[in-house]
Chain A
């Protein structure tokens, strides 16, 4: 299954709109103008996800994970490499000495940012499909990418796809890049893409 150019364009535009609201929230939190780079969207079978996330590196990855259930169900993840997670938290909190490790405050900040971004994206899907998607409480995990993706692949049955949204946060002179990954079963994905296509026509 691949995205048609029309689907790709419509999805990118919808996510762009959702993220522009999020940028306003992040600006308010930091007191600085926050820009979110225009998102880039790709779709792949979950088994091929690792290749798409290569630039997260081999070290620990900070992942905010929310399970969503309802007529559209799956896993939503915000993924940042460790240094990126530190940098993003530092940009949002500001005024602290740089820390080598994420502390409890950093974890709170990243979880909340993940919660806002993932909800902005999935909530937009829920509104589009006129359904109610229920979310789990967001959890922050620190683990190597490989192990994390394996657990996603093994935990559930059936063919699943990953919608990958690449974005960058720009605050002051710094840029932190990361991925939103939305893992969906075939039925959920078909439903979503059909609606996106209907909208784009």
Chain B
């Protein structure tokens, strides 16, 4: 579900966005009424949260305009105003529901997920599933670290402390929030009992660090990575991605065919998601691992993203043997 969050306070928007995205929904944000109307037209949301006190247009006016343009769009007021009279006023203007900022925001999630005809988040992992999935991927990262250590003849540690699963449609917003600029990605296609794409994403600054740490290249050219450095990135990516893909295959007792790595540099989140969507792969979800890669005494952040179909992810979760 895509939720448009309208509030003039960035702090308040973030508070709501954290809740919404943690539940597997996509959050887009507007800092006022005019921007909200524009975004609603350009990126049609499934629901809107509306603050009432905003400098450019008050929330009641925004609700009237949105209701006039979108008769069926759920409009949920999220306001610090706790007055009964205010609730009656916003209901009369066309609001669907009211959530008070002066308490926990969890009721907002219950309202969103109770809306009819909206796409529910596919996977909200239980703590046990999260632990089991993280453990499985940490084992894969351990194998990758050993392979990298042999390749680089250096001490290598690779951990994946956090795993998330979301729809590909929510991935762009997630990446824009966490990696505004992607310095490089290494991507490999795989097929067999599981079919999808795996990619290692390096945020700006971290691709350079990785190359320096890996090949002791002190003088990186100002115009970007050289051919040798790109080859080094492809090789490192290949090792990490192979370990991750093989571990997923092992989990299902299957051997997967893995394609050649491709490297692309300096791109936006949207370009990356478009790249993932190209080709015959029927992947509509992404498993995201935030990795910390330590080579010698250099620490690098990177994201491992595995695009798979919902059915494949359900089979993986079932194979973990964790009671939901």
Q: Chain A interface (Cβ within 8 Å of chain B)?
A: 18, 21-22, 24-25, 27-29, 105, 108-109, 111-112, 115-116, 118-120, 123-124, 126-127, 130-133, 135-138
Residue B12 is within 8 A (CB to CB) of chain A in the complex: yes
Residue B82 is within 8 A (CB to CB) of chain A in the complex: yes
CB pair A116–B86 under 8 Å, yes or no, is: no
Q: Chain B interface (Cβ within 8 Å of chain A)?
A: 8-12, 15, 53-55, 79-86, 89, 100-106
Given contacts A24-B103, A108-B10, A116-B101, contact A137 B53 (CB under 8 A): yes
CB pair A22–B102 under 8 Å, yes or no, is: yes
What secondary structure prevails in chain B residues at the interface with A?
loop
Residue of A nearest to B14 (CB): A108
Given contacts A115-B53, A123-B83, A137-B53, contact A25 B104 (CB under 8 A): yes
Residue of A nearest to B9 (CB): A112
Provide 23 A-B residue pairs closer than 8 Å at the C-beta atoms, listed in order of the A residue. Answer: A21-B82, A25-B101, A28-B104, A28-B106, A29-B15, A105-B10, A108-B11, A112-B9, A115-B53, A115-B80, A116-B80, A116-B102, A118-B80, A119-B79, A119-B82, A120-B80, A120-B102, A127-B82, A127-B85, A132-B86, A137-B53, A137-B54, A138-B53
CA separation between A18 and B86, bound complex, in Å?
A: 17
Given contacts A112-B9, A137-B53, A137-B54, contact A119 B80 (CB under 8 A): yes
Q: Which residues of B contact A22 (CB under 8 A)?
A: 102
- Smallest Cβ distance from B37 to chain A, in angstroms? 19
Q: Give me 6 other A-B pairs in contact (C-beta within 8 A), A25-B105, A118-B80 excluded.
A: A18-B82, A105-B10, A119-B81, A123-B86, A126-B84, A127-B85
CA separation between A112 and B106, bound complex, in Å?
A: 18
B102 in complex: contacting residue of A25, A109, A137, CB < 8 Å: A25
Q: Which residues of B contact A111 (CB under 8 A)?
A: 9, 11
Q: Which residues of B contact A109 (CB under 8 A)?
A: 11
Q: Which residues of A contact B15 (CB under 8 A)?
A: 28-29
CB pair A123–B8 under 8 Å, yes or no, is: no
Q: Which residues of B contact A112 (CB under 8 A)?
A: 9, 11-12
B55 in complex: contacting residue of A24, A131, A135, A137, CB < 8 Å: A137
Residue of A nearest to B58 (CB): A137
CA separation between A115 and B105, bound complex, in Å?
A: 16
Residue of B nearest to A92 (CB): B11
Residue of B nearest to A27 (CB): B104
CB pair B82–A123 under 8 Å, yes or no, is: yes
- Smallest Cβ distance from A62 to chain B, in angstroms? 15
Q: Which residues of B contact A123 (CB under 8 A)?
A: 80-83, 86, 102
